[in-house]
Structure 1
Amino acid sequence: MNRGNGPHRGAPGDNDPLGGMDDADVADMWVMNPDTGSFELRAPGGGAVDAPGTTRPRTSGAAGTSEGRRRPSAVEAASGRGTGSDRGADDVPAAASRRRGAGTAPAGRAGARNAAAGKDKAAPKSKVKKRLKWIAITVVGLIVVLAGTAYGYIKYLDSKISTTAKNAGSEGVPKAEEDAFGRRPLNIVLIGNDSRKGLGKKYGAAEHTEGLADVTILMHVSADRSNATLVSIPRDTMVQIPKCVVDGKTYPASNGPQSFNESLANGGPPCTVSTVDKMLGVQVDHYIMIDFTGVKKMTDAVDGVDMCISEPINDPVLPNQGGGTDLKLDAGDQNLSGETALKFLRARHAFGDGSDLARIKAQKAFLMALTRKLKNSASLTNVQGMFKIANIAVESLTVDKGLGGVDKLISLGNQLKKVPEKRMAFTTLPVEEYPPLPKVKVQPKQPEANNLMAMLRTDTAVTKDDKPAEQQPGTTPTPEAPKVDPATLKVDVRNGSGVNKRANEVAADLVGRKFVAVSAGNAKDGKTHPTSSITYPKGRLDAAKALAAATGLPDSALTESTSAAVTRFELLIGKDYPGTAPPNNAAPPTEPPKNIDMETADKNVCAPKKNR
């Protein structure tokens, strides 16, 4: 019989003679009263209940004698006799008869005692079974409710994440290759957007400004997740911004080198990612962008970041001069969160020579401290902590569609947790002054910039492991690129890109790398060419490969001259000329460039001092 789950359960006393238990077994409710020796109908755990169509007897006097018709005693019921009635044994409830056993029940008081004892033994077992059943139902129900609530909450968070396409069209840029075990490295672009939209003029610019890529970091995580390299790209680095197509709108490629941070204005993060794709030589897998408000909320969510401040900081706002964040900090260990953390990350004149490069050093120290906290704080690595951060993140971040879910962001975080702090390196793209605008702009320093990008592209660690390198099955050493003295190469540079003075810029770059640029001018046919190429003298293939490596062109761009009289190399700059893109065919360097500023996350690095 179904107990406790019937279609209706009345309330006690609500014309319900069974006290709300009309779906219970009536046989279990007919019990003997030990004081009177009479059988009574009782609700489980309740008092006596009147049978339908009967009146509860009234009592009077010390002896409690009945004024109305009483129920038969146990002896009378067992012997078939009744007091003041002709009720016999057949009038005893059928359930009691069933428990005694038809035709075999003991007579008299012994039968009554046996019946009562049997009931006393059976009742607890019935109650225990009922309680266990309801406990099980309650637990299962609670699990279902909690699971449904968690699922609903995750879907709610997912709905708040802002997403866009990953890139704006990175034609010709391959994806990162898998290693011998089928694993693939991760390349992620981290963008700090300086948009003041909705913030008034609190941070020194009109609130409608859509923002630039004020901070950009390329994070490379090795295929085996044993090491990671984070490369800061200075915002004033002059690079070639490619054509970007975002939401059906086309943003043309830049006419010559342009500040890297302006890539964000060409349709948003997808164009910044495509610009990095060209620089890196392989496609970026994901991007994550955060704005001013997000920085404040995220640092609050992790209860601040503990920073070493090497000297007192005072970065006053300078009226009508630009710059200044009003940051004031004492020397020593400081916990930075909210508005103070944002001021620290934005401050420029408070560190070093006041340049963007000096600020990047302070930002790296902050990110290293943040990494240590996220990896070592139990309150942030448990489920509750991760959801706390996720709740803030969804309101502050914009990500590519491949990361458009809380579960995906948490999965990414779990992968990053595998990287040891001592194998997580922070560095900056090697740069030098940009000759047309010295002291204002910089350009990638070659060959150091290309070499660093080549290490990331080929998944070569910039840090050393304590244990022997993992044996790769079926691998053979990569042959070294030909070593050629660039001073032995005489190069004619021809501009077929359609960009004014592009040949002069490339020729100057080659001279800076010890090549001999004999001349610079337009393409011989006066036309614009879609692809770049190198024509080399007969028998000079190795030298041509060295030139291709220096300019970021593949071997497929090389053509041997048919004339034996040709003694010079001709570099034709097409519309696809990569500028600083590393070559795809050159053997990767095994060591990071010398004299680059590199630290690992396990080091407690203080904020840089201001130059005096």
Structure 2
Amino acid sequence: MSLTPQGSERVPEQRRGGSGGGRRRRGGQGGDRGRRGRRILRWSAMVLAVLIVGTAGAGYLYYQHLNDNLKKDDLNIGDKKDRAAKSKANAAGQTPLNILLIGSDARDSAENQKLGGAKDTYNTAPRADVQMLLHVSADRTNMSVVSMPRDTLVSIPKCTDPDSGKTYASSTSTMTNASLERGGPGCTVATWEKLTDIHIDHFMMVDFSGVVSMADAIGGVPVCVDANIYSHTSSGHGSGLKLKKGTTSIKGKQALQWLRTRYGFEDGSDIARTKAQHMYMNSMVRQLRENATLSNPGKLRSLAETATKALTVDDGLGTVTKLYDLSKELKKVPTKRITMTTMPWVYSSDGNRVLPKPTDASKLFRLVREDIALDGKDKKKSKKTTTSSDPAAADDKIAVQVQNGTKSSTLAPVSGRASAVAQLLVGKGFDEAEADSSTLLSEDETVIRYPSADLEGDAQRVAKALGIPTSQVEKSTDVSGVTLIVGADWRSGAKYTAADDDDTTPESASALNGSDTKACMHVDPDYTW
């Protein structure tokens, strides 16, 4: 993805590395691909997921032989140490559902090659050119979608291809879309879990083929532009989209053009294109739910055939029955409670790629991880504050182990932070405070943990001395004594300042509500007619 406004490309795309392992659908090693090919149909996975949401009420039209169409792959092929803990159940015993939607740019068939272009890249290793995390709340009242720009530089963990047995070494500052060619979608899942600490339950991956057929089967999706637009340049760039000002119902080729358009929308960046894709998806959901019966059963059956042939899923979604059950869960969420966002980002130092935006990206990931609705309509969750009945020992008798948890998904750890805070405690009279320099953790929020009730009073006394809220003191069998983990919210200074109890979605996430019928893409004046 180039984030450069129209008129210039910052640098050529990096060369494709590695191999596709033993799977025929991945192919082997390839070289550079044309700009046009890299920008086609990155929205594919979201199309399929939204289609399932919208057609759940249309009736069970799948056939048993559709199971044979589905391709399956391992959910997570990264190291266990990089995996996120499973989501916790709410008070009613319900758990959230996290699905990673992946759009592959594979050229592994004649149809995919025709759609993707770049003839010299036939059957080369695919990349994950669209990545969207779909989060369904535990109570199924709301849904959040987080898109990650494909040029985001991330740390990709070590991944082992389950078919070939080949191991791909971990790497840093690597474009996130390269994760797919390192053993398959299970490596893309592992990359997301390492970055966000969000447990992913399933993935759905789709390639180029069948997407136009999906758009046709829907029968038209209304989209809006604030001026006449023609996405075309004298040098041959542009999707070819040509629309009049206002709202137009698009399908087939026009739908494809809309979803590919970069030149002509706002600043000509892929971020603007993502915004247009979100508008399309929201409009599609509304259309499908308003016309949930889809009057032509034959078209719907054909769509099911096309979709299952284009789809790769994990074993947990490996039958049409499981996909249908998933669609019923997604259908429970009202359109007005669907929120689409883009991961907050900043340019890398050379301006050619992007990075997760410090603080804002971590906050967005935390909201999803804690099952907090991104539309802000959840009831505020009060933080538990209690005072222990267990009396604390004298300060100089309380043993405290201090660990460094300042590493976050966007920031490197602060060297020596555990020692600095341990010395701070010693200065306050906690003579038995010691730093554990052998352990490096990642905690968004500073926390004090204790293993048993007889140490609760001691842990709360340490919290009071440092100004840490008692809501951040918790019992845990993961520690053997009072343990202070200095989090990413206390990276410097001798005074701890508790963060505001703010669960609002960062403005930089560009949230778009599913019921927003007034959303309209701004057209670059250089592309009007």
TM-score by length of 2: 0.64
Any residues of structure 2 matched to 1:177-192 within 5 Å, and which? 177-192=88-103
Matches within 5 A, 1:467-486: 469=379, 477-478=383-384
Is the partner of 2:135 in helix, strand or coil?
strand
Do structure 1's residue 368 and structure 2's residue 252 form an aligned pair?
Answer: no
Alignment of 1:199-238 (within 5 A): 199-200=112-113, 203-205=116-118, 206-238=121-153
Q: Secondary structure at the match of 1:333?
A: strand
Q: From 596, 601, 605, give the equivalent of 2:509.
A: 596
Tell me if the contact between 1:317 and 1:325 (Cα under 8 Å) persists in the aligned partners.
no
Q: Contact (CA 8 Å) 1:422, 1:600: kept in 2 or not?
A: yes
Map 1:113-132 onto structure 2 (within 5 A): none
Distance 1:349 1:534, change over 3 A: farther
- Give the 3 Å change call, closer, same or farther, for CA 338–383 of structure 1 in structure 2: closer
User: In the alignment, is residue 282 of structure 1 matched against residue 188 of structure 2?
Assistant: no
Conserved 8 A contact 2:443-2:488: no
Say which one has the larger Rg: 1
CA contact (8 A) 1:279 1:582 kept: no
Name 1:442's counterpart in structure 2: 354
Gaps of at least 5 residues in structure 2 are 1-58, 387-403, 429-434, 450-486, 491-498
What residue in structure 2 maps to residue 341 of structure 1? 255
- Worse overlay, 336-345 or 383-392: 383-392
Q: 1:536 aligned to 2:438? A: no
Q: Does 1:455 align with 2:367?
A: yes
Shift in alpha-carbon separation, 1:552–1:434, aligned structure 2, 3 A? farther
Q: Deviations over 1:332-359 (max 9, x none)?
A: 3222222322222122122121111111
CA contact (8 A) 1:453 1:582 kept: no
The aligned residue for residue 332 of structure 1 is 246
In structure 2, the partner of 1:41 is none
Whether 1:253 aligns to 2:167 is: no
Change (3 A) 1:241 1:587: farther
Q: Any idea what SS the aligned residue of 1:378 has?
A: coil
Q: Is the 8 A contact 1:455 1:588 kept in 2?
A: no
Matches within 5 A, 1:457-606: 457-465=369-377, 469=379, 477-478=383-384, 534-538=418-422, 540=424, 589-604=502-517, 605-606=519-520
In 1: Cα distance, 2:167 partner to 2:295 partner = 42
SS at match of 2:94: coil
2:159 corresponding residue in structure 1:
244
**Residue 430 of structure 1: CA displacement?**
0.5
**CA distance in structure 1 between the aligned counterparts of 2:276 and 2:167, rounded to whole angstroms:** 36
1:196 Cα deviation after fit: 3.3
Q: Please tell me whether the aligned partners of residues 478 and 587 of structure 1 are also in contact (alpha carbons under 8 angstroms).
A: no
Are residues 449 and 153 of structure 1, via their aligned partners in 2, closer, same or farther at CA, if it must alter by over 3 Å? closer
Distance in structure 2 (CA, Å) of the matches to 1:274 and 1:588: 30
**Counterpart amino acid of 2:122?**
E
Find the aligned partners of 1:588 and 1:165 in 2 and give their Cα distance: 38
Q: Which amino acid aligns with 2:336?
A: K
SS of 1:592's partner is coil
Residue type of the alignment partner of 2:86: K
Cα distance, 1:180 vs structure 2: 1.2
For residue 257 of structure 1, give the secondary structure of its aligned residue in structure 2: strand
Deviation, 1:222, is 0.1
- Which residue in 1 is equivalent to 2:308? 394
Shift in alpha-carbon separation, 1:302–1:355, aligned structure 2, 3 A: same
Equivalent AA in structure 1 for residue 292 of structure 2: A
**How far did residue 416 of structure 1 move?**
1.2
Q: Aligned-pair distance for 1:362? A: 0.8
Is the contact between residue 228 and residue 242 of structure 2 (CA under 8 Å) also seen in structure 1? yes
1:276, CA displacement in angstroms?
0.9
Tell me which residue corresponds to 1:196.
Answer: 107
SS at match of 1:258: strand
Deviation at 1:154, TM superposition (A): 2.2
Corresponding position of 1:157: 66
SS in 2 for 1:379: coil
Amino acid at match of 1:305: V
SS of the residue aligned with 1:277?
Answer: helix
Which secondary structure state, in structure 2, belongs to the residue aligned with residue 292 of structure 1?
A: coil
Sort the Cα spacing of 1:200 and 1:158 in 2 relative to 1 into closer, same or farther, 3 A: closer
1:478 deviation in Å? 4.3
Structure 1: which 5+ residue stretches go unaligned? 1-149, 481-493, 495-504, 524-532, 557-579
8 Å contact from structure 1 (residues 450, 581) kept in 2? no
Change (3 A) 1:594 1:269: same
RMSD: 3.9
Identity %: 36
The change in CA–CA distance for 1:347 and 1:402 in structure 2 (over 3 A counts) is same
Matched, 1:292 2:208: yes
Shift of 1:258: 1.1
Bigger RCO of structures 1 and 2 (CA < 8 A, at least 6 apart): 2
Residue 446 of structure 1, CA deviation? 1.3
User: CA, structure 1 residues 380+167, in 2 after alignment: closer, same or farther (shift >3 Å)?
Assistant: farther
Conserved in 2, the CA contact under 8 Å of 1:534 and 1:548?
no
Amino acid corresponding to residue 310 of structure 2 in structure 1 = S
**DSSP 3-state at the match of 2:88:** coil
- Residues of 1 paired with 2:411 and 2:135: CA distance? 28
**Cα distance in 1 for residues equivalent to 2:385 and 2:129:** 39
Structure 1 counterpart SS, 2:282? helix
Question: Cα deviation per residue 1:298-345 (whole Å; 9 max; x = unaligned)?
Answer: 1122223221233222223765x7x43233233332222223222221
Shift in Å at residue 210 of structure 1?
3.3
Which residue pairs with 1:20 in the alignment?
A: none
Residue 271 of structure 1 aligns with which residue? 187
SS at match of 2:141: coil
SS at match of 1:264: helix
In structure 1, distance between residues paired with 2:281 and 2:347: 26
- Inter-partner Cα distance in structure 2 for 1:390 and 1:415: 18
1:295-314 → structure 2 map (5 Å cutoff): 295-314=211-230
